[in-house]
Amino acid sequence: MAFHLLQRDREGAGRLAETLSDALETIHHCVQCNNFSETEICDLCATGERDPRLLCVIETPADLLMMELTRAYQGLYFVLMGRLSPLEGIGPHEIGIQKLLERAGDGVTEEVILATNFTAEGEATAHAVGELLRQRGLKVTRIARGVPVGGELEYVDSGTLAQALLERRPASP
């Protein structure tokens, strides 16, 4: 992208460089949720209207936006800014796990909801984080997975269907 801009659009390249350098100077991590923020505590954490007993752990800022779109969650968040990726050498120190343990240990948080991806790496992250939080006496839950809303079994992939079968629950009466 950089080469393309330098060749075709030097003015645009200049603007991009300026924007990036501004962002580097003004954007930090929120001290509470670890998301990008221009202020010490981001707007979402600062509202005071969210339920502070619930903490939802996600991998990226984009995941936080998706969770907010559900309008089904009233608690707070913690953004790991990554996931454990053992084969790439990304371990607990490379992502925000230590920061999460401090955040969840604030004495107010009661339940931590693990909403990392359902990939092998996201699952490994959920397992490791879950263990560490349970050791600290917190209630830990994992978001459920299965057939999508409006999903017809005929069109669901076999892996999802197999997992939905394994994780079946009592039918509501």
Partner 1 sequence: MSFDPARVAMEPAFVLHSTPWRETSLIVECFTPHCGRVALVAKGVRRPRSALRGLMQPFQPLLVDWFGQGELRTLKTAEWQGGLPQLSGKALLCGFYLNELLMRLLGRDDPHEALFGIYAQALARLAAAEPLEPVLRAFEVSLLQELGYAPPLEREADSGAPIDPQAQYLFELDRGALRVVVPGGNAVQFLGKTLLDMAQSRYDDPVTLSQSKQLMRLLLGHHLGHQDLHTRRIFQELPLL
Which residues of this chain interact with partner 1, rule CB under 8 A? 84, 86-89, 91-93, 97-98, 101, 119-120, 123-124, 127-128, 131-132, 157-160, 162-163, 166
- Shortest Cβ 137–partner 1 spacing (Å): 15
Q: Which is nearer to partner 1, 68 or 131 (CB)?
A: 131
Expressed in angstroms, the distance from the first to the final Cα of the chain is 57
- Shortest Cβ 135–partner 1 spacing (Å): 9
User: Looking at 4, 22, 45, 84, which residue binds Zn ion (CB under 5 A)?
Assistant: 45
Q: Which is nearer to partner 1, 53 or 134 (CB)?
A: 134
For residue 31 the two structure tokens come to: 């001290």
Residue 138 near which of Zn ion, partner 1, none (CB within 5-8 Å, type-dependent): none
Q: Is residue 6 helix, strand or coil? A: helix
- Shortest Cβ 87–partner 1 spacing (Å): 5
What is the side-by-side strand order in the sheet with 51-58?
75-79, 51-58, 111-114, 139-142
Contact predicate 73/67, CB 8 Å: yes
114 binds Zn ion (CB under 5 A): no
Q: Which is nearer to partner 1, 27 or 165 (CB)?
A: 165
CA 45 from chain centre, in angstroms, equals 15
Cα separation of 129 and 134, whole Å?
Answer: 9
Cα separation of 160 and 173, whole Å?
Answer: 25
Task: Count interface residues toward Zn ion (CB under 5 A).
Answer: 5
Q: Which is nearer to partner 1, 75 or 85 (CB)?
A: 85
Burial of residue 87 (number of CB atoms within 10 Å: 0-12, 13-18, 19+):
exposed
42 binds Zn ion (CB under 5 A): yes
Which residues form the interface with Zn ion (CB under 5 A)? Answer: 30, 32-33, 42, 45
